[in-house]
Amino acid sequence: MGRPECLPRFFFSVASFFSYDQLCEWADVASTLTPPARLAVIGDPIGHSKSPQMHNPALQACGLEAQYVRVQVPVGQVKEAFGQFQKNGFLGVNITIPHKFEALEAVDFLDPLARQLGAVNTLAIRDGKLHGFNTDGPGFLRSVKEAFGAEVKDLRLLILGAGGGAGRAVAVQSVLAGCQHLLLANRTESKLAPLVQELASLGSAQVQTCSLAPADLAQQLAKVDLIVNATSVGMKAEDAPLLPAGCLEARHFVYDMVYRASGPTELIQAAEAAGAGHADGMCLLLHQGAISFEHWVPGHTAPLEAMRAGLAAANAGV
């Protein structure tokens, strides 16, 4: 893959990313970059990530001579990639699918919340040591408050896909935040038993389970306020609907952790049709990113509006 071309202010083209091989030969790449790359996001694939469009405006707003890049890292190479970032003077890294679990084992110090949530999505490199954090959980709480004007602790939650990593993290974070009523839905309901037991050890929340069968969900929706889609359903336009037609009400809040460049997901469209409050994964991306930024550059408050504007421009194709 060729080296990314630079734009004015020396920020990458939004279509560009570096390969793992280039990371391992970073001295050659670094000589082409002004200002230097000091932050990155890794994943496989990674070319779709909008994190650079969010974090580079934040760096500019804070007057920091650094830039944020994408690096595609294969499964099984996360620890080695962290070593390369450390060696080459990076301040930190975001970790996205499928590396959040592998990153747990690749850090020197693991934040207690990241341990509880079972995933690391933010690496901060401090004094030669690798510190692992999870900003998805706190970002979820902040984004719910912004999108719906409500605290998770005051809502009855339905988590679709609670058996996966994202669903488990939302469930654990919600109980830690004081949520008292959770309904966990999963394709295979029996797989939720360990999570139910774990949540019981964290607080006094009433936790129930159900399947993702339309009949089950239709019966349960009257009992919940906030519906969280933690599955990957909706990433493709041809994905089948998650909820039975006509089951959403205007009183519901719908939080789809998926975001799609081609337009609103089917779940968001259903929420709009019902007059329900709704938010997609872009809201989570913004708020978890702001928390990550403050881990990397202590003493700086994340410039949330600059980050929001960067994402809006990216979504508009600017």
Q: What amino acid positions are annotated as catalytic residues?
A: 100
| CA 69/CA 264 separation, integer angstroms | 27
| CA 252/CA 24 separation, integer angstroms | 49
Using alpha carbons, select from 193, 42, 165, 172 the residue that is nearest to residue 113.
172
Largest CA distance in the chain: 60
Is 43 within 8 Å of 94 (Cβ atoms)?
Answer: no
Residues composing the chain: 318
Using DSSP, state whether 90 is helix, strand or coil: coil
| CA 37/CA 57 separation, integer angstroms | 14
**Is the CA virtual torsion 110, 164, 93, 53 positive or negative?**
negative
Q: H-helix or E-strand containing 294?
A: helix 281-296
Compute CA 50 distance to the chain's CA centroid, rounded to the nearest angstrom. Answer: 11
| CA 231/CA 79 separation, integer angstroms | 27
| CA 179/CA 152 separation, integer angstroms | 6
DSSP secondary structure string for all residues of 218-287: HHHGGG-SEEEE-SSTTSSTTPPPSS-TT---TT-EEEES---TTS--HHHHHHHHHT-EEE-HHHHHHH
- Give the pair of three-digit tokens for residue 61: 């707003």
Using DSSP, state whether 318 is helix, strand or coil: coil
Is 89 within 8 Å of 113 (Cβ atoms)?
Answer: no
Is 295 within 8 Å of 124 (Cβ atoms)?
Answer: yes
